[in-house]
Chains A and B, each alone.
Chain A
């Protein structure tokens, strides 16, 4: 994919190091993500990919280095403060409320955008009513329609097949109306058809005028990563090997040695 549609730098990760005891999960990792980009982070197991995502969305606070989002330093901010700035994520292992319906789970993702207070909320009057209507419109018209989950709206999440739960998780992340979306292995555990659907949704979110969401994707399915990424950063044992376009990465001898060479690069589903 050509990179000429990309905007200015949106997220800058600068010399970030993260230690657990004496183990360096990340040591001095730097890269940047540009607006409207799909930026993938790949690397062998234990390379620090999820730690990186956790640092970006604030679940972890790196001991060294800094992270800035839209030119603003966010290294010290808490996750919910980052969420307010438009940062949203999905998890590798599904983190939905299993006993609640699909619609309720997605609505929760909208929580940040609901501003009405406790009094107006309890009598459902004025601002609350307006907000509820807007929320409903947003969720139905943008998310449910986009992700094609009309038929499971009112189903309890715990009863749904895994692939559908993954979709619901993406839906909840989108309810935040993010500008930067962190996707942690969105394709793991999906069958071929579900992978195709999910890859299409990610592209839709990234390309549709309505959304234009920048994505950071951590994923092992090299087929999809190479197909949809604008740029890829490769991590190995907590250090970054390189950042480049998919074709650069495929031809980089260091990457091949550290990661891709071990197994067949295309040991994916295709």
Chain B
């Protein structure tokens, strides 16, 4: 099993002068043509981009931006899939002394317009026609926008708007400028200071409008180094970049750690084939929000249901062994030799193959963060022998403050602080953290800054405590913690993650704060339940219809009963309703990082909540759905409410 730690010391000393572009310059000098900085799958082949080429691209784009009028501290926004051009543009912006902003690829136009205006971004890097169309449609609302830069020529043949310019042209402008001022780029990079703002990061915000967190080079560099002190990566490692750059976790790996260590960042061909591409690369490090791991678990469970009896038997047996060994490890007990042998056999016969299919065959450290992950998922991956760890942090602390250590993993905690980081808990249970990576403040929002940053401490708004082993336990957002009927405090997310371990349930929203009993609103997984319904010869035409079938209710009830088994009586789910649609970020029910926006859904589905606490088995819904292209559709439907009698335990 490719576990255990490697050693590598980052060859950079963080000083007042060190910036990310300087790190790029140094690393490019060190590796030159000898090593791939990036790889992109294009036209079916992995094409390497060496460090020299990386630097060259950044240089010419940076100079091109200068000839287009970019000045120090100007903002440059970026949108599009993960691709080398995106990182080049980001590094080019920083090289000039500008501030980079990443937007989520699936942002609606209003969100894009809000961020571009709020940040007064002067340039926007888009990928192709889609982003260009998006940007052109909001140009009237964004008076500061000077140029839109695109790199994929597909479908762009008829565009001749003066606002548009292709990345190639920008690079050519850069080349021309270099002829006039050959050492301009190096001079600009040399001007940078560690405390300069590098990134303006708009947090997705579960509660309000996005806030722009200002992160300095110093923040990013210290975070990268402190994380690498815990789990060193080596220059030979591979990392696959497939999650939005607008998520701090991706910046953490591709920029903060990637540049300093010099490992290879790989970009998938298209988002749809990311999973296949991950398998081809077999990365050594992986960082993804729980959704991704939940998806992997689900795909294994579904395939398991589909396979032959022998394979099912093999898998179930191997899994039992895996779980047993993983639990011993969690409890830090020695593993008896017999079990070691059994574990080795199950690895050789089952898990090796399974891990390969998931793209995890070489993974040394897999991280999850951004939201809570259920214990079931955690155990699942450890049973496979994947060293999955929880990360806790915020955008405001450049991504990470607390992390599990290999061999010291407790799945209900998020681990212990990384070096140079202090954590403390206020009297009312709020988690505070302090480290060199704590951000500079929110852009144009002094009130929020004053609330979040006090005496160098970052007020997270999360509740938690530190357990007897010094591990941090994160409850939830302060306002999301529920008080149950027996007056105990409980985290709805914990219940939700338990429910989501079932392959049939894609999303769940658990309600029960200061109420007599607990209820859940459940979104079935259309693909999995749909397939199940096909096999059962159930007819359905759409998600709303399928979700309201009695048989599907029976199925969901079974899943909930399963989750209820291990819960104390006051925390058991009493009633549930199947929602007629999945939660969606475009409907503002989820953040762009796919966290449930509780306050919003509570208001939106208040009729359902009300009905769940009344003596009724039906609720009438009259509402609207927004499609990705902005169309709004009116929906009228009746939803069943199913009660699950909870047995009184004596």
Chain A interface residues (CB < 8 Å from chain B) = 136-137, 140-141, 144-146, 148, 150-151, 153, 200, 204, 207-209
The 9 closest A-B pairs by CB, nearest first: A140-B43, A151-B272, A140-B44, A141-B43, A151-B273, A150-B270, A150-B269, A150-B273, A145-B43
Q: Other CB < 8 Å A-B pairs besides A140-B44, A207-B157, A208-B157, 20 of them?
A: A136-B44, A140-B43, A140-B45, A141-B43, A144-B43, A145-B43, A145-B154, A146-B154, A148-B270, A150-B44, A150-B269, A150-B270, A150-B272, A150-B273, A151-B270, A151-B272, A151-B273, A151-B276, A153-B44, A209-B157
The secondary-structure label for the interface of chain A is helix
Taking the closest CB of chain A, its distance from the CB of B85, in whole angstroms, is 16
Taking the closest CB of chain B, its distance from the CB of A212, in whole angstroms, is 12
With both beta carbons as reference points, the residue of chain A lying nearest to B44 in the complex is identified as: A140
| Interfacial residues of chain B within 529-573, with CB under 8 A of chain A in the complex | none
Q: List 19 A-B contacts (CB under 8 A).
A: A140-B43, A141-B43, A144-B44, A145-B43, A145-B154, A148-B270, A150-B44, A150-B269, A150-B270, A150-B272, A150-B273, A151-B272, A151-B273, A151-B276, A153-B44, A200-B155, A207-B157, A208-B157, A209-B157
User: Is A204 in contact with B269, judged by CB distance below 8 angstroms?
Assistant: no
Q: Which residues of A contact B269 (CB under 8 A)?
A: 150
Q: Which residues of A contact B276 (CB under 8 A)?
A: 151
Scoring A136, A137, A144, A151 by chain B CB atoms within 10 A of each residue's CB, the highest score goes to A151
Q: What's the Cα separation between A185 and B273 when bound, in Å? A: 30
Q: What's the Cα separation between A145 and B41 when bound, in Å? A: 12
Q: What's the Cα separation between A146 and B43 when bound, in Å? A: 11
Taking the closest CB of chain B, its distance from the CB of A207, in whole angstroms, is 6
Chain B interface residues (CB < 8 Å from chain A) = 43-45, 154-155, 157, 269-270, 272-273, 276
Q: What's the Cα separation between A146 and B155 when bound, in Å? A: 10
User: Is B155 in contact with A204, judged by CB distance below 8 angstroms?
Assistant: yes
Q: What's the Cα separation between A140 and B270 when bound, in Å? A: 14
With both beta carbons as reference points, the residue of chain B lying nearest to A209 in the complex is identified as: B157
Taking the closest CB of chain A, its distance from the CB of B30, in whole angstroms, is 33
Q: Which residues of B contact A204 (CB under 8 A)?
A: 155
Taking the closest CB of chain B, its distance from the CB of A95, in whole angstroms, is 25
Scoring B44, B272, B276 by chain A CB atoms within 10 A of each residue's CB, the highest score goes to B44
Q: Which residues of A contact B157 (CB under 8 A)?
A: 207-209
Q: What's the Cα separation between A146 and B152 when bound, in Å? A: 12
Scoring A140, A150, A204, A208 by chain B CB atoms within 10 A of each residue's CB, the highest score goes to A150
Q: What's the Cα separation between A164 and B155 when bound, in Å? A: 20
Q: Which residues of B contact A153 (CB under 8 A)?
A: 44
User: Is B272 in contact with A137, judged by CB distance below 8 angstroms?
Assistant: no
Q: Which residues of A contact B273 (CB under 8 A)?
A: 150-151
Q: What's the Cα separation between A150 and B157 when bound, in Å? A: 22
With both beta carbons as reference points, the residue of chain B lying nearest to A142 in the complex is identified as: B43
Q: Which residues of B contact A141 (CB under 8 A)?
A: 43
Q: Which residues of B contact A144 (CB under 8 A)?
A: 43-44
Q: Which residues of A contact B154 (CB under 8 A)?
A: 145-146
Q: Which residues of B contact A207 (CB under 8 A)?
A: 157
Q: What's the Cα separation between A200 and B270 when bound, in Å? A: 19
Q: Which residues of B contact A200 (CB under 8 A)?
A: 155
Q: What's the Cα separation between A204 and B44 when bound, in Å? A: 21
User: Is B43 in contact with A137, judged by CB distance below 8 angstroms?
Assistant: yes
Q: Which residues of A contact B270 (CB under 8 A)?
A: 148, 150-151
Q: What's the Cα separation between A207 and B110 when bound, in Å? A: 33
Q: Which residues of B contact A151 (CB under 8 A)?
A: 270, 272-273, 276
Q: Which residues of B contact A137 (CB under 8 A)?
A: 43
With both beta carbons as reference points, the residue of chain B lying nearest to A140 in the complex is identified as: B43
Taking the closest CB of chain A, its distance from the CB of B155, in whole angstroms, is 7
Q: What's the Cα separation between A144 and B42 when bound, in Å? A: 11
Taking the closest CB of chain B, its distance from the CB of A83, in whole angstroms, is 25
Q: What's the Cα separation between A267 and B62 when bound, in Å? A: 53
Q: Which residues of A contact B43 (CB under 8 A)?
A: 137, 140-141, 144-145
Taking the closest CB of chain B, its distance from the CB of A36, in whole angstroms, is 14
Q: What's the Cα separation between A140 and B45 when bound, in Å? A: 9
Q: Which residues of A contact B272 (CB under 8 A)?
A: 150-151
Q: Which residues of B contact A140 (CB under 8 A)?
A: 43-45
Q: What's the Cα separation between A128 and B276 when bound, in Å? A: 30
Scoring B43, B155, B269, B276 by chain A CB atoms within 10 A of each residue's CB, the highest score goes to B43
Q: Which residues of B contact A146 (CB under 8 A)?
A: 154
Q: What's the Cα separation between A153 and B45 when bound, in Å? A: 13
Q: What's the Cα separation between A145 and B273 when bound, in Å? A: 13
With both beta carbons as reference points, the residue of chain B lying nearest to A137 in the complex is identified as: B43
Taking the closest CB of chain B, its distance from the CB of A202, in whole angstroms, is 13
Taking the closest CB of chain A, its distance from the CB of B359, in whole angstroms, is 16
Taking the closest CB of chain A, its distance from the CB of B188, in whole angstroms, is 36
With both beta carbons as reference points, the residue of chain B lying nearest to A203 in the complex is identified as: B155
With both beta carbons as reference points, the residue of chain A lying nearest to B45 in the complex is identified as: A140
With both beta carbons as reference points, the residue of chain A lying nearest to B153 in the complex is identified as: A208
Taking the closest CB of chain A, its distance from the CB of B331, in whole angstroms, is 43
With both beta carbons as reference points, the residue of chain A lying nearest to B272 in the complex is identified as: A151
Q: Which residues of B contact A150 (CB under 8 A)?
A: 44, 269-270, 272-273
With both beta carbons as reference points, the residue of chain B lying nearest to A153 in the complex is identified as: B44
Q: What's the Cα separation between A245 and B29 when bound, in Å? A: 62
Taking the closest CB of chain B, its distance from the CB of A211, in whole angstroms, is 11
Q: Which residues of B contact A208 (CB under 8 A)?
A: 157
Q: What's the Cα separation between A137 and B276 when bound, in Å? A: 21
Taking the closest CB of chain A, its distance from the CB of B100, in whole angstroms, is 28
Q: What's the Cα separation between A153 and B270 when bound, in Å? A: 13
Q: What's the Cα separation between A204 and B129 when bound, in Å? A: 13
Taking the closest CB of chain A, its distance from the CB of B555, in whole angstroms, is 26
With both beta carbons as reference points, the residue of chain B lying nearest to A154 in the complex is identified as: B276
Taking the closest CB of chain B, its distance from the CB of A164, in whole angstroms, is 12
Q: What's the Cα separation between A42 and B445 when bound, in Å? A: 62
Q: Which residues of B contact A148 (CB under 8 A)?
A: 270
Q: What's the Cα separation between A133 and B273 when bound, in Å? A: 23
Q: What's the Cα separation between A208 and B154 when bound, in Å? A: 9
With both beta carbons as reference points, the residue of chain A lying nearest to B276 in the complex is identified as: A151
Q: Which residues of B contact A136 (CB under 8 A)?
A: 44
Taking the closest CB of chain B, its distance from the CB of A38, in whole angstroms, is 16
Q: What's the Cα separation between A220 and B211 when bound, in Å? A: 52
Taking the closest CB of chain B, its distance from the CB of A146, in whole angstroms, is 8
Taking the closest CB of chain B, its distance from the CB of A2, in whole angstroms, is 13
Taking the closest CB of chain A, its distance from the CB of B274, in whole angstroms, is 10
Q: What's the Cα separation between A200 and B129 when bound, in Å? A: 13
Q: What's the Cα separation between A144 and B270 when bound, in Å? A: 12
Taking the closest CB of chain B, its distance from the CB of A76, in whole angstroms, is 39
Q: What's the Cα separation between A200 and B155 when bound, in Å? A: 9
Q: What's the Cα separation between A187 and B151 when bound, in Å? A: 30
Q: What's the Cα separation between A148 and B273 when bound, in Å? A: 12
Taking the closest CB of chain B, its distance from the CB of A197, in whole angstroms, is 12
Taking the closest CB of chain B, its distance from the CB of A156, in whole angstroms, is 16
Taking the closest CB of chain B, its distance from the CB of A237, in whole angstroms, is 40
Q: What's the Cα separation between A240 and B154 when bound, in Å? A: 38
Taking the closest CB of chain B, its distance from the CB of A13, in whole angstroms, is 30
Q: What's the Cα separation between A22 and B245 when bound, in Å? A: 69
Taking the closest CB of chain A, its distance from the CB of B391, in whole angstroms, is 30
Q: What's the Cα separation between A146 and B45 when bound, in Å? A: 16
With both beta carbons as reference points, the residue of chain A lying nearest to B273 in the complex is identified as: A151
Taking the closest CB of chain B, its distance from the CB of A208, in whole angstroms, is 7
Q: What's the Cα separation between A66 and B269 when bound, in Å? A: 48
Taking the closest CB of chain A, its distance from the CB of B156, in whole angstroms, is 10
Taking the closest CB of chain B, its distance from the CB of A217, in whole angstroms, is 20
With both beta carbons as reference points, the residue of chain B lying nearest to A136 in the complex is identified as: B44
Q: Which residues of A contact B44 (CB under 8 A)?
A: 136, 140, 144, 150, 153
Q: What's the Cα separation between A73 and B616 when bound, in Å? A: 80
Taking the closest CB of chain B, its distance from the CB of A119, in whole angstroms, is 29
Q: What's the Cα separation between A145 and B276 when bound, in Å? A: 17
Q: What's the Cα separation between A145 and B128 when bound, in Å? A: 14
Q: Which residues of A contact B45 (CB under 8 A)?
A: 140
Taking the closest CB of chain A, its distance from the CB of B625, in whole angstroms, is 17
Q: What's the Cα separation between A136 and B232 when bound, in Å? A: 40
